[in-house]
Structure 1
Amino acid sequence: MKLLKSLNLRGWLLVGTAVCGVVLAGAVATFGSSARAGAALEERKLPMKFNWVACEPNCRGWVSAVGIITADTPKNFEEFVRGRQLGGATVVLDSSGGSVNDAIALGRRFRNLGLLTTVGMSVQNRGGQGARPAVASEAYCESMCVFLLLAGKKRYVPEAAHVRVHQIWMGDRADDARAASYNAQDLMIVERDIGRLAKYTFDMGGAGDLLSLALNVPPWEDLHELDAAELKLTNLVTTDLVADVLPDVNVSAPAMAELAPKAQDRVSEQPEHPQASSSSTKTAEALVPTGTAPATTSQK
């Protein structure tokens, strides 16, 4: 009897240890996912960075573009391109937007290089030596990032991705757009940049529906997320096959709700053309109105 009780006690201890192990493993996994999501959100608050994600020998690599588009972004991209053969490569976007004119300049450069575009977050799979990178599809392409997406010769948007649009506005008055004061010069700047954006949209093969959807959402309202039908209506999507832009790459959709944007971004001001007069150095900006306070790292 004593032996039986001893065995029963030992069995319960083993079961309890196993349960604790499972619980701890789940907690570690959840913590790891949250940590990666938090890190991704912090990157999206910073100026856009470009990284080459190598995926050899079984698949070609891609360009990871994460962060907000600032006055320095086109120049930084040129530095990134130098010495690389990027013709026909894919750009994986995770961005909350930024400067209108700088996004236009960068988008035209994408098209000149014949780049392909998609939305996602580059992740390195764990698994020791030889583990291949992958793309997590639950990422965000908002505001002017949508027009960067449009620059791809081929464009794919995974089901789990969030593509969201809204109006461009004066960046220094977006916090309380309805209460701010505006003059004729401000109106000229906004209308000028809308004209530039319209020309760019049609040059890239986009539809007027994209402009219509974006310009119907004022900065004091939530961004409008494009559904599958609208992605096709606006010509943002040109293919339903991920293999057309990321052949032989694992594309997954992990649960990463923490990636949702939680702050407004501020971007630098710069004219589309260097020869523009000093009175044109201001630009309307595409911001991300989320109803929360501006980020403390915002740029003016």
Structure 2
Amino acid sequence: MRLLNSLNLRGWLLVGTAVCGVVLAGAVATLGSSARAGVALEERKLPMKFNWIACEPNCRGWVSAVGIITADTPKDFEEFSRGRQLGGATVVLDSSGGSVNDAITLGRRFRNLGLLTTVGVSLRGGQSARPAVAPEAYCESMCVFLLLAGKKRYVPEAAHVRVHQIWMGDRADDAKAASYSAQDLMIVERDIGRLAKYTFDMGGAGDLLSLALSVPPWEDLHELDAGELKLTNLVTTDLVADVLPHVDISAPAMAELAPKTQARFGAEPEQSQPAKSTKTAEALVPTGGVAAPAPATQK
């Protein structure tokens, strides 16, 4: 069996972590309707795109990273960053996850550039409105590990950060009924090892791996509460100004995307209604690339 890395053939996925956001000081971040919220949701299910959101002269601007991480994403980021002075910039994430190994590659590039990270829906603004970041959004699956790549990391209270186990994407829909070979198990263990090394290299805690790997694909994604975000070291600051200077937290007029879920350890849930599983990273989306089988371990 092949490990499929491009999204049109589904690929290895880890589903999890929610998204955070912020609004620039003085800006009125208004999506205006649930229809706009729906558009934002659909964009995070498409292959990841990078855009520079300029807000001069009052702030430097930031990188908007929206969508699923595919085999093409690290290359797309290199093309986006060419000719730009991105060192120390902030990346605002809005993603449903994606390929494990490609997310690791991209995350290491983020750290090498000294990027800062948060999560949210970037709003460009208009002629009379300043650009802003809506605080209620999602960062799921491998998006969580991109968040971890930031030198400084901020997660707003309205964000939804969700985790899930690594699994073979082509068998995640009915994981219990699928069959697996010894080669498949080897690939799983190899990639868990890679993810563990990356997590510790980025300064994450073992609790993050423990939480993610305890949630099988046939269960709802687990949403991290404020205590778990700190326990896993996903959050390094409680100040939005540490990642986006001259900003203020303000929730825009945006439809509620999903309820909070119960903590796996720590605080009691705020709501008893569980959120639906959102394995959105497994959508069949063409990426323009051709998937290749994963190489076997060299002996």
Match of 1:92 in 2: 92
Classify the secondary structure of the residue corresponding to 2:184. helix
- The alignment status of 1:249 with 2:247, answered yes or no, reads yes
Aligned counterparts of 1:186 and 1:99: Cα–Cα separation in 2: 16
Match of 1:69 in 2: 69
Match of 1:216 in 2: 214
8 Å CA contact 1:98–1:265 kept in 2: the answer is: yes
Aligned counterparts of 1:220 and 1:42: Cα–Cα separation in 2: 23
8 Å CA contact 1:135–1:249 kept in 2: the answer is: no
Match of 2:185 in 1: 187
Classify the secondary structure of the residue corresponding to 1:76. helix
Classify the secondary structure of the residue corresponding to 1:38. helix
Match of 1:150 in 2: 148
Aligned counterparts of 2:132 and 2:250: Cα–Cα separation in 1: 8
8 Å CA contact 2:45–2:283 kept in 1: the answer is: no
Q: Percent identity?
A: 86
Cα-to-partner distance string for 1:44-91 (whole Å, 9 max, x where unaligned): 111000000000001110000000000000000000000000000000
8 Å CA contact 1:149–1:236 kept in 2: the answer is: yes
Number of residues of Structure 1 aligned to a counterpart in Structure 2? 243
- The alignment status of 1:206 with 2:204, answered yes or no, reads yes
Match of 1:14 in 2: none
Aligned counterparts of 1:196 and 1:46: Cα–Cα separation in 2: 25
Higher helix share: 1
Change (3 A) 1:69 1:45: same
8 Å CA contact 1:134–1:250 kept in 2: the answer is: no
Match of 1:237 in 2: 235
Aligned counterparts of 1:54 and 1:87: Cα–Cα separation in 2: 15
Classify the secondary structure of the residue corresponding to 1:252. coil
- The letter of the residue matching 1:89 is A
Aligned counterparts of 1:182 and 1:75: Cα–Cα separation in 2: 31
- The alignment status of 1:103 with 2:118, answered yes or no, reads no
Aligned counterparts of 1:238 and 1:31: Cα–Cα separation in 2: 29
Structure 2's unaligned 5+ residue stretches are 1-29, 259-276, 285-291
Aligned counterparts of 1:267 and 1:280: Cα–Cα separation in 2: 24
8 Å CA contact 1:135–1:251 kept in 2: the answer is: no
8 Å CA contact 1:134–1:251 kept in 2: the answer is: no
Cα-to-partner distance string for 1:164-209 (whole Å, 9 max, x where unaligned): 1010001110010001001111100111000000000000000000
8 Å CA contact 1:50–1:77 kept in 2: the answer is: yes
TM-score of the two chains, using structure 2 as the length reference: 0.77
Change (3 A) 1:94 1:278: closer
Cα-to-partner distance string for 1:192-244 (whole Å, 9 max, x where unaligned): 00000000000000000000000000000001110111100000000000000
Larger Rg: 1
Aligned counterparts of 2:163 and 2:254: Cα–Cα separation in 1: 21
- The alignment status of 1:59 with 2:59, answered yes or no, reads yes
Match of 1:19 in 2: none
Aligned counterparts of 2:293 and 2:131: Cα–Cα separation in 1: 45
Q: What do you get for the CA RMSD once the two structures are aligned?
A: 2.2
1:278-293 aligned within 5 A = 279-280=294-295
Classify the secondary structure of the residue corresponding to 1:51. strand
Aligned counterparts of 2:278 and 2:199: Cα–Cα separation in 1: 28
Structure 1's unaligned 5+ residue stretches are 1-29, 269-276, 283-300
TM-score of the two chains, using structure 1 as the length reference: 0.76
Match of 1:137 in 2: 135
Aligned counterparts of 1:123 and 1:96: Cα–Cα separation in 2: 18
8 Å CA contact 1:55–1:61 kept in 2: the answer is: yes
Please identify, of 132-141 and 116-125, the stretch whose mean Cα deviation from structure 2 is larger: 116-125
Higher RCO (Cα < 8 Å, 6 or more apart):
2
Change (3 A) 1:256 1:280: farther
Aligned counterparts of 1:176 and 1:74: Cα–Cα separation in 2: 29
Match of 2:50 in 1: 50
- The alignment status of 1:266 with 2:286, answered yes or no, reads no
Aligned counterparts of 2:53 and 2:217: Cα–Cα separation in 1: 35
